[in-house]
Amino acid sequence: MAFLQAQGISKSFASSGTPRRVLGSVSLEVEQGEFVSIVGAMGSGKSTLLSLLAGLTTPDTGTITIDGEPIAGVRRDAAFVFQNYSLLPWFTALENVRLAVDAAYPEVSRSEQLAIARHALEQVGLGNALHRRPGQLSGGMRQRVAIARAFATRPRVLFLDEPFGALDALTRDTLQQELGRLCTEGDRPVTTVMITNNVEEAILLSDRIVPMIPGPPATLGAPIPVELPRPRTLALLAHDEQATHVRAHAVSTLAAAISRPKRSSGPPSTSTSTVLSAAAEEVR
Amino acid sequence: MSAPLELTGLTKVFPTPSGPFIAVKDVNAEIAAGEFVAILGHSGCGKSTVLSILAGLDRATLGGVVIDGREVTEPGPERAIVFQSPCLLPWLSARQNVQVAASQGSARRSRRESSAAAAHFLELVGVSEVADQLPPELSLGTQQCVSLARALSVEPRFLLLDEPFSMLDSLTRFELQDTLLRVWEESDRTVVMVTHDVDEALYLADRLILMTDGPEATVGDVLHVPFPRPRTRAGVLGHARYHACRRHVIDFLEHHAHQSRPSALDSVLHSAV
């Protein structure tokens, strides 16, 4: 059995009276220590799926287990990084991280918690910004604090929700490579599920990429393995011939899997083409 | 017979408080009818300056742009441009935005003809179902599709694209690249596209003009893209020469883009500015 296993999960939201099915029957398996990215367009239901996997919301149907245990709320050995950093603005970087350590290890003494927090911040290059508040930090530095906070608790499973979406290209490149190193190196690689709409980012970081097929309801496509050696760098992806082939395969498979039938921003009506093809089936 | 679109010794100097700034120097290129050319370079290298001069929105300091033997001095309906941001009029529906352009295009159109043209071009880029929505109600990708429909509705001979997809996420970008490729392959238009996305350029263009870094940016290299048409993304990415082409462009951008070459124009320039 896989470390993280989701079996036939679906989710609907009631919007203006009629429930709208956002996620169809979705199944996903993530092995221990594996980095899996779910790639899909904006509004396709990626965040809904991540919330379900992380135990922030409950599915209408289906089961989710992590390490053999059914999900019931947020696990203590799980950590998150969100696009909007989600730091407490009145605390310093150090206090923000220590708070997470306290939540995960309340039995540890305060001074020890501070030491863990300091070490985590040093790991992401923020050793000289420990006592600054989020408002005094750049976007990239805030996201580093959020990453330090996630890793400070030594999580077994990590959920990343568009972690680099709000950053400029240069900062994004650096942080992606650093995150990849933190996730996959060391004595115990963390099991990671990331959602993103950035294909390059998914290729750089993932062991497998799962395309999210737009709906509604959205479903998951066949996983695409990214068989590239680690540590990976953007330079490797740019220059290595094998990497070009792996990348080319991933990009064309993804592009083919995720082609949206509609671009309307309004709630899509029942798909006429589905109705028509169903009718055509009956005629035959 | 010369090419229908020529850049000859195109040079742009901006006056600044600290003296003249040579942004672009001695850019030469000939673009054939129906060709898809991508101008590639680092940001700030003057790609957009070249495109603005092509569009007639700006004038070259020396040299210039020649279309069918005539110098370009102002915007005209034979050239339509799509910018990085959609630039739609927010108080008009998608259809009305296109209609305004269609009525001012190369072909003189009545109100009814403009309306029909708007419907046609919105359909062509696949957004006819949002024709009556206002731009702020549409996603950025859809707005950019409308912007492309608007440019096409002028029925231009030359379609000028200034990083049209760089604000979009990668999946929406794929979708719009496919739309553009399909529309272009079914027409006989000439396209000049400014981009910094190597894969985008290789997927779409016949020829890449690689620009060196500014100041004094100029044409550093030209690459003929060998992939057969009609193209598919899988076909291009799986092509035996894809890696070599990509590598060539990336190497240029990493190692050669900052080496500007001495030019015969140097002496002329320094006496001119």
* Facing residue for B242 by CB, picked from A198, A248, A259: A248
Domain ranges for chain A: 4-77+156-259
Q: Tell whether A76 lies on the interface with B, counting CB pairs under 8 A.
A: no
pTM of the predicted protein model:
0.83
Q: What is the mean pLDDT of residues B10-26?
A: 93
- B246 vs A14, which has greater pLDDT? B246
For chain B, the average pLDDT equals: 90
Per-residue pLDDT band at B189 (split at 50, 70, 90): very high
Give Cα separations from B69 to A113, B3, B8, B64, B100 (angstroms).
75, 9, 11, 12, 30
Q: Tell whether A131 lies on the interface with B, counting CB pairs under 8 A.
A: no
State the smallest CA–CA distance between residue A42 and chain B in angstroms. Answer: 9
| A263/B242 touch (CB, cutoff 8 Å), yes or no | no
State the smallest CA–CA distance between residue A195 and chain B in angstroms. Answer: 13
Lowest pLDDT segment from A161-165, B5-9, B218-222, B227-231 = A161-165
Domain ranges for chain B: 5-78+157-272
Q: What is the mean pLDDT of residues A162-177?
A: 85
* DSSP labels, chain A: --SEEEEEEEEEEEETTEEEEEEEEEEEEE-TT-EEEEE--TTSSHHHHHHHHHTSS--SEEEEEETTEEP-S--TTEEEEETT----TTS-HHHHHHHHHHHH-TTS-HHHHHHHHHHHHHHTT-TT-TT--GGGS-HHHHHHHHHHHHHHT--SEEEEESTTTTS-HHHHHHHHHHHHHHHH-SSSPPEEEEEES-HHHHHHH-SEEEEEEPSSSBEE---EE----SS--HHHHHH-HHHHHHHHHHHHHHHHH---S---SSPP-S-HHHHHHHHHHHH-
| A265/B247 touch (CB, cutoff 8 Å), yes or no | no
Lowest pLDDT segment from A95-104, A173-182, B83-92, B159-168 = A173-182
The predicted structure's pLDDT at residue A264: 39
Q: What is the mean pLDDT of residues A190-207?
A: 93
Question: A278 pLDDT exceeds 60?
Answer: no
- Count of positions (residues) in chain A: 284
Per-residue pLDDT band at A45 (split at 50, 70, 90): confident
For chain A, the average pLDDT equals: 86
Q: What is the C-alpha to C-alpha distance for residues A176 and A236, in angstroms, rounded to an integer?
A: 14
Q: Tell whether A188 lies on the interface with B, counting CB pairs under 8 A.
A: no
ipTM of this complex prediction, to 2 decimal places = 0.75
* Facing residue for A244 by CB, picked from B139, B169, B243: B243
Interface test with B, best of A240, A249, A259, A264 (most B CBs within 10 A): A264
Contacts of residue B174 in chain A, CB cutoff 8 Å? 199, 255
- A48 vs B268, which has greater pLDDT? A48
The predicted structure's pLDDT at residue A21: 87
Check whether domain B5-78+157-272 has CATH 3.40.50.150, yes or no: no
pLDDT above 90 covers what percent of chain A?
A: 52
The predicted structure's pLDDT at residue A215: 78
Q: Tens of pLDDT along A208-224?
A: 999 999 877 899 999 99
CA closest to B146 among chain A residues: A263
- A112 vs A262, which has greater pLDDT? A112
| A39/B171 touch (CB, cutoff 8 Å), yes or no | yes
Residues 16-55, chain A: which have Cβ within 8 Å of B?
Answer: 39-42
Check whether domain A4-77+156-259 has CATH 3.30.465.10, yes or no: no
The predicted structure's pLDDT at residue B132: 95
Q: What is the C-alpha to C-alpha distance for residues B8 and B66, in angstroms, rounded to an integer?
A: 8
In three-state form (DSSP H/G/I as H, E/B as E, the rest C), the secondary structure along chain B is CCCCEEEEEEEEEEEECCEEEEEEEEEEEEECCCCEEEEECCCCCCHHHHHHHHHCCCCCCEEEEEECCEECCCCCCCEEEECCCCCCCCCCCHHHHHHHHHCCCCCCCCHHHHHHHHHHHHHHCCCHHHCCCCHHHCCHHHHHHHHHHHHHHCCCCEEEEECCCCCCCHHHHHHHHHHHHHHHHCCCCEEEEEECCHHHHHHHCCEEEEECCCCCECEEEEEECCCCCCCCHHHHHCCCCHHHHHHHHHHHHHHHCCCCCCCCCHHHHHHHC
A-to-B residue pairs, Cβ atoms closer than 8 angstroms: 71
Per-residue pLDDT band at B106 (split at 50, 70, 90): confident
Contacts of residue B139 in chain A, CB cutoff 8 Å? 42, 263, 265
Structure tokens at A72: 């019931």
| A251/B242 touch (CB, cutoff 8 Å), yes or no | no
Contacts of residue A266 in chain B, CB cutoff 8 Å? 133
Structure tokens at A151: 């890793």
Question: B263 pLDDT exceeds 90?
Answer: no
